[in-house]
Amino acid sequence: MSTQATEATASLYRDYARRWFPGHSELYVQWATGVANTPELLALVSELPEPRRQPNLVFAAARFHGCPDETFPQLQKYLGAHWPAIRAIVLDHATQTNEAGRCATLLPALAMVAAQERRPLALIEVGPSAGLCLLPDLYSYSYDGAAPLGNGSPLLRCSTTGNPPIPRRLPEIAWRAGVDLNPLDGTDPDTVAWLRALVWPGQDERLERLDAALGTLAALASGALQAAAGAPLLLSGDLNERISELVDAAPKHAVPVVMHSAVLAYLGQAQRARFAETIATLGCRWISNEAFFMDAANRSQQGSDANFFTLALDRVPLARTGQHGAELHWL
Ligand SMILES: C[S@@+](CC[C@H](N)C(=O)[O-])C[C@H]1O[C@@H](n2cnc3c(N)ncnc32)[C@H](O)[C@@H]1O
């Protein structure tokens, strides 16, 4: 293993320990710092293909395999003892974190479309992972501590500024579908374990929310929970290849709404531009909740604060949103 590769890995782990983990997972700060300072572990991680070396993926794989959330020396021992199996998990899995909490920031935009169109919505999500953001009508919401809207589970709490148009009732969803490079079956126990491993240690609220949303998805899929629209139809493929097909397949009495969150970052500039150009031809509404938003010339623009997403409806920015749905700052 070249010194250059191990130095790059050390710098990646230091960067996560300084920039991304603090305030979210103290254990991951400790683990990432430990790996960055341990030549044997740097050598192991540096054998992985470059895009698979990120600490969040490697740590999720270790925890999925059974590594307990304990101190760095425990992690070091565990990685040393089980590396071939953990390596195989890293190579076979991706960071497809699915955050149902984002429905709290998507809801006002969905309700605006429903009010303008006076028709039920056909929700089409690109990059839905397991499809948990396709169930906004089945959760409940409390904005700024107000009495809950809806009676589903989980209850999504969100604080706001700027007086966003919080709806009085949840929009009617007639159909839910999505396309993902690797759609996940959120009713499969192994997939559930992977989604749980992707939540960083210490983020107990996120884990509770994930479990509750997966419970709602399972109830919908089994028929124990009845709703106008059934479980999401998830296609496999690239969003640019399959979006038109999905919009065409939406029931005609409903207004097709293409939406996405935390997905555009996985695309290059050309793929983002192609997506925006395609959307413009499909006759659908478009809700985007991303670090980027697309301008009228189909160029992606970066939001002003890297910690927030921009919520946009049909290219018009509406709000800055907390990445996990806990904050909504209306513009
Ligand atoms: C971080 S997850 C976000 C999941 C979900 N949107 C949410 O907000 O919880 C990003 C998802 O986008 C998918 N993805 C990335 N590039 C894609 C592409 N070109 N076409 C379809 N899906 C893609 C990934 O497979 C992954 O499931």
Cα dihedral 113/117/121/125 (nearest 10):
-50
What confidence score (pLDDT) does residue 296 get? 74
Q: Is 153 touching ligand 1 by the criterion CB < 6 Å?
A: no
Instruction: Tell me the CA–centroid distance for residue 259 and ligand 1, in Å.
Output: 11
Residue 151 shares a structural domain with residue 169: yes
- The b-or-e profile of 206-224 (16+ CB within 10 A means b, else e) is beebbebbbebbebbbeee
Report which residue type is found at 213. Answer: A
Q: Which atom of ligand 1 is nearest to the CA of 260?
A: 6
Tell whether 205 and 320 lie within a shared domain: yes
Q: How far is the CA of 127 from the centre of ligand 1 (A)?
A: 3
Apex CA 212: angle with CA 64 and CA 128, to 5°?
70
- Amino acid 111 reads A
The runs of H, that is alpha helices, within 202-325 are 204-222, 239-249, 269-281
Q: Is the CB of residue 180 below 6 angstroms from any atom belonging to ligand 1?
A: yes
Whether residue 115 is found in the same domain as residue 233:
yes
Could you identify the atom of ligand 1 that is nearest to the CA of residue 132? 9
Atom of ligand 1 nearest to the CA of 125: 6
Cβ–ligand 1 distance for 319 under 6 Å, the answer no
Domain end (from 67, 92, 117): 92
Ligand 1 centroid to residue 38 C-alpha, Å = 33
Residues 111 and 254 grouped into a single domain: yes
Same-domain check for residues 87 and 107: no
82 and 112 together in one domain? no
Could you tell me if 197 and 81 lie in one domain? Answer: no
CA atoms 173, 177, 183, 185: torsion sign: positive
Whole-number Å distance, alpha carbon 230 to ligand 1 midpoint, is 21
Separation of alpha carbons 203 and 24, rounded Å: 7
Is 327 close to ligand 1, i.e. is its CB under 6 Å away? no
Residue 285 belongs to what domain range?
A: 100-330
68 CA from centroid of ligand 1 (Å):
28
What is the tally of structural domains in the chain?
2
96 ligand 1 Cβ < 6 A: yes
Q: How far is the CA of 129 from the centre of ligand 1 (A)?
A: 6
Q: Is the CB of 74 under 6 A from ligand 1?
A: no
Contacts of 270 (CB under 8 A, 6+ apart): none
- Please choose from 106, 181, 239, 288 the residue to mutate so as to test ligand 1's pocket, defined by most ligand atoms within 8 A of CB: 181
- Could you give the CA distance from residue 39 to residue 45 in angstroms, rounded to a whole number? 10
Both tokens of residue 47? 């054998």
Q: Say yes or no: 249 and 105 in one domain.
A: yes
Phi-psi region of 211 (alpha: psi -120 to 50; beta: other; left: phi over 0): alpha
From 20, 261, 266, mutation site for ligand 1 pocket: most ligand atoms within 8 A of C-beta:
266
pTM value > 0.85: yes
- 165 and 287 in a single domain? The answer is yes
Q: Are residues 71 and 213 in the same domain?
A: no
Instruction: Say whether both 104 and 87 belong to one domain.
Output: no
137 lies in the same domain as 59: no
Question: How many whole angstroms from 197 Cα to the centroid of ligand 1?
Answer: 17
CB of 128 shorter than 6 A to ligand 1: yes
- Tens-of-pLDDT digits for all 331 residues of the chain? 678 889 999 999 999 999 999 999 999 999 999 999 999 999 999 999 999 999 999 999 999 999 999 999 999 999 999 999 999 999 999 999 999 999 999 999 999 999 999 999 999 999 999 999 999 999 999 999 999 999 999 999 999 999 999 999 999 999 999 999 999 999 999 999 999 999 999 999 999 999 999 999 999 999 999 999 999 999 999 999 999 999 999 999 999 999 999 999 999 999 999 999 999 999 999 999 999 877 777 777 776 677 899 999 999 999 999 999 999 999 9
Does 12 contact ligand 1 (Cβ within 6 A)? no
Locate 322 and state its tokens. 């907390």
